[in-house]
Structure 1
Amino acid sequence: MATASVSGSREKELWRRLGEVNDPELDEAITEMGFVERAEVKGDGNVEVDFRLPTYWCSPNFAFLMLDGVRKALDQLSWSPAYRVKLHDHMFAEEVNRGIEVGRTFGDIFAELAEDKDIDTLRETFSMKAFKRRQEAVLRGLREHGLTDHEILGTDLTAYDAVRFAPGEAAVQKPRYRAALLERFPERQAGDPVFVTWEGRQIAPAALSAYLAELRGVRVNMEFNGALCRGLKQTRYKELDVVDGEPTLVDFIMDRVPARSAPAV
């Protein structure tokens, strides 16, 4: 009985850790995207993870960033297990899996495969997009909350933590934006403004609407890529269950096409 309890607890921890790894381009959890096909704690405590991307030709840069995130997540497991991560149905799966089997790191393997050798620059680009997407959701939420632009941009970390949103996108992104802000600006003090640009500049209240329009462009692009990615994966792997109510790529496009007026009779 105790063994079953330990096993169940470890399974939950495993999936929780994997759920903290994001697709770098979409800023969505790889578990939500369905990229983790199987994650299992074996009887001896070791861990096996099967990983599958939506297309055969997914950029090796993206694959590296996600698999490196998986590695870091597994390294944080409380019982420090040995683990095996296997990439399936990808143009570099053979090279990646063979390299892992002989003990090479993801960094060593992908250094030879990556299209862009400056992975750190690519990682920062995706971090910037995630920062902006999360920030936009919270800014819109505060406007809907009834705050003026001046009040919003004067919000410090203490006031930010006191805000309570109804369930929705702003509530989801509030803690995620806080994490992104402090990762970007670790020296941030409790009394400092929470809403600044990626470069750390103050945002003038009169400029907030234009700034939000810029952020919206980032979000729409990421949402479109996410819808496309889900559609490709569902088309490629028919056995995956479609989540009830999840929008398709067509739904996403049609939702953004202005409705045409009926022709005059």
Structure 2
Amino acid sequence: MTAALVEHTVRSVAVQAVRRALDAVLDPELDEPITDLGFVRSIEVAGAAPGAEVTVHLRLPTSFCSPNFAYLMASDSKDAISALPGVGTVVVELDDHHDSALINAGLAADAGYRGTFGHEAEDSLDELRLMFRRKAHTAAMERCLTELLRADPALTEANVGTVLLGDLPAGRTKDALVRRRMALGLPTAPAAVVLVDHDGIPYPAEHVPVALRRARSTRISIDGNAHFCRGLLRTRYEGSGADQADRPEGAEPADHHHQLPFTVKENHP
């Protein structure tokens, strides 16, 4: 199977429509769409609407990527495609991973995370998703404030704690921050303080420089991991670089970057 997508259309269900749906699926650790990262190995559509059959194969940079992350991306992919009009059956398979057989069987049976991993599923996917959404929000705060610091020489790190959403210039970086705040249920009004903790509480003035440095560390970690994983994927799969979208280090993901609903399917005893 090649890295190129199978380009064909069957009535109302097009391969490119499937790919656009997958734009909403994020690598939880890297905070980037799996389509931009090159994780979508192939897309095939067979049959006609309303019962079209969609088969998607995913690939990851290594065979030992976290099973939690792998399952989350594969499950979200199935959910995103299933929501498309005209789709009847969806098969999502993860290739070349040490838990491929287990994950693929769980997805086929709609067993949910705990139903797939059993006693090994110590944490819920909701908790995992929340943790990484908080990290993404932290990185987005830092990007906005660093951009503002570079644009305004009079602004110092010590007083960024008073910056409001309404003070940020319009653009992709601010839009990304607002999306992440909405995903966490944080205020998005112009009068809302930008630099806040996970509960939306502003930091005392004396803690602002440290909070900004910690946020910068989080952002650098996310960007560095994304760069590393892109390189690993290109090394593992010849030609996969052509499926990756270019993104300068520290920049926001592409404009199509958005998020699926917070919850995932779970089967509980």
Aligned to 1:10: 14
1:202 CA displacement: 0.9
d(CA) in 1 for partners of 2:205 and 2:17?
A: 43
CA offsets 1:193-212 (integer angstroms, 9 cap, x no match): 34422232213556443322
Aligned to 1:131: 137
One-letter identity of the residue aligned with 1:77: L
1:52 maps to 2:56: no
Give the one of 103, 106, 115 matched to 1:96. 103
Matched-pair identity in %: 28
One-letter identity of the residue aligned with 2:43: A
1:142 CA displacement: 1.9
Change in CA separation of 1:40 and 1:240 when aligned onto 2, cut-off 3 Å: same
One-letter identity of the residue aligned with 2:164: T
State the superposition RMSD in angstroms: 3.2
Aligned to 1:177: 177
d(CA) in 2 for partners of 1:40 and 1:31?
A: 15
Where do 1:56-71 residues align within 5 Å? 56-71=63-78
Q: TM-score by structure 2 length? A: 0.73
Change in CA separation of 1:245 and 1:222 when aligned onto 2, cut-off 3 Å: closer
If asked which structure has higher relative contact order (CA below 8 Å, sep 6+), I would say: 2
1:111 maps to 2:111: no
Larger mean Cα displacement after TM superposition, 109-118 or 21-30: 109-118
Contact 2:161/2:208 (<8 A) preserved: no
Aligned to 1:75: 82
d(CA) in 2 for partners of 1:197 and 1:148?
A: 21
Aligned to 1:237: 237
1:118 CA displacement: 3.5
d(CA) in 2 for partners of 1:24 and 1:110?
A: 19
d(CA) in 1 for partners of 2:99 and 2:28?
A: 19
Aligned to 1:201: 201
Change in CA separation of 1:4 and 1:112 when aligned onto 2, cut-off 3 Å: closer
1:155 maps to 2:164: yes
Contact 2:82/2:90 (<8 A) preserved: no
Change in CA separation of 1:153 and 1:6 when aligned onto 2, cut-off 3 Å: farther
Where do 1:135-146 residues align within 5 Å? 135-146=141-152
Contact 1:50/1:85 (<8 A) preserved: yes
Aligned structure 1 segments of 4 or more residues deviating by more than 4 angstroms: 3-7, 149-152, 186-190, 204-207, 242-248
What is the SS of the residue equivalent to 1:46? strand
d(CA) in 2 for partners of 1:118 and 1:105?
A: 14
d(CA) in 1 for partners of 2:163 and 2:224?
A: 32
Q: Give the number of the structure whose alpha-carbon radius of gyration is greater.
A: 1
Aligned to 2:218: 218
What is the SS of the residue equivalent to 2:16? helix
Contact 2:93/2:104 (<8 A) preserved: yes
Size of the aligned set, in residue pairs, is 235
One-letter identity of the residue aligned with 1:60: P
d(CA) in 1 for partners of 2:66 and 2:147?
A: 34
Q: TM-score by structure 1 length? A: 0.74
1:16 CA displacement: 1.7
d(CA) in 1 for partners of 2:138 and 2:14?
A: 34
Unaligned runs of 5+ in 2: 1-7, 250-269
